């Protein structure tokens, strides 16, 4: 299906928008950001509507999975948890798999050399930020 191809990137963009608006909402709530009342109400309304997109995402993932509900929940519990935007950063844990793959690739000279350069740059940047 065509929707199966464009839907996941769309949801990721919506997730980034939700996170940005959530930060704005928190800043408004703690008086770090001063805006008009109508703007604050609009931000909260958009946040609520974006939650509908995340629920629709879960429904579509179930529809496309060809599993019964119990099997879908058992096999996708982590994905279901991360549908709630507050838990979306946990999707970064999937990066752990990629890091393991990079470690295997680091055995080759070219990839190992590149990873060492990136690691060195990150260390320098971290030291600058700490000081």
Q: What is the pTM of this model?
A: 0.55
100 and 46 in a single domain? The answer is: no
The CA radius of gyration of the chain, in Å to the nearest whole number, is 20
Q: How far is 22 from 16, CA to CA, in rounded Å?
A: 10
On whether the CB atoms of residues 76 and 65 are closer than 8 A, the answer is yes
Higher local confidence (pLDDT), 16 or 94: 16
55 and 13 in a single domain? The answer is: yes
Residue 114, CA distances (Å) to 4, 100, 103 in order: 34, 16, 12
Q: Which of 91, 94, 112 is nearest to 102 (CA)?
A: 112
Number of domains in the chain: 2
Tell me the pLDDT band of 127, cut-offs 50, 70 and 90: confident
Q: Does residue 34 register a pLDDT over 70?
A: yes
Domain that holds residue 99: 94-131
Poorest-pLDDT segment among 1-15, 47-61, 76-90: 76-90
**Backbone dihedral angles phi then psi of residue 93, each to the nearest 5 degrees:** -60, -25
DSSP state of 131: -
User: Is 89 inside any structural domain?
Assistant: no
> Residue 13: what pLDDT?
87
On whether the CB atoms of residues 47 and 18 are closer than 8 A, the answer is yes
Other residues' Cβ atoms within 10 Å of the Cβ of residue 82: 21
67 and 35 in a single domain? The answer is: yes
């Amino acid at each position: 299906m065509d929707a199966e191809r464009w839907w996941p990137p769309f949801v990721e963009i919506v997730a980034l928008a939700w996170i940005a608006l959530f930060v704005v909402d928190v800043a408004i709530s703690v008086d770090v950001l001063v805006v008009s009342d109508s703007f604050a109400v609009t931000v909260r309304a958009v946040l609520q509507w974006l939650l509908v997109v995340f629920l629709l995402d879960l429904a579509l993932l179930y529809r496309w999975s060809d599993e019964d509900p119990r099997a879908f929940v058992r096999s996708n519990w982590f994905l279901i948890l991360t549908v709630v935007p507050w838990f979306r950063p946990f999707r970064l844990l999937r990066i752990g798999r990629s890091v393991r793959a990079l470690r295997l690739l680091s055995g080759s000279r070219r990839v190992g050399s590149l990873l060492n350069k990136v690691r060195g740059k990150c260390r320098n940047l971290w030291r600058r930020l700490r000081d």
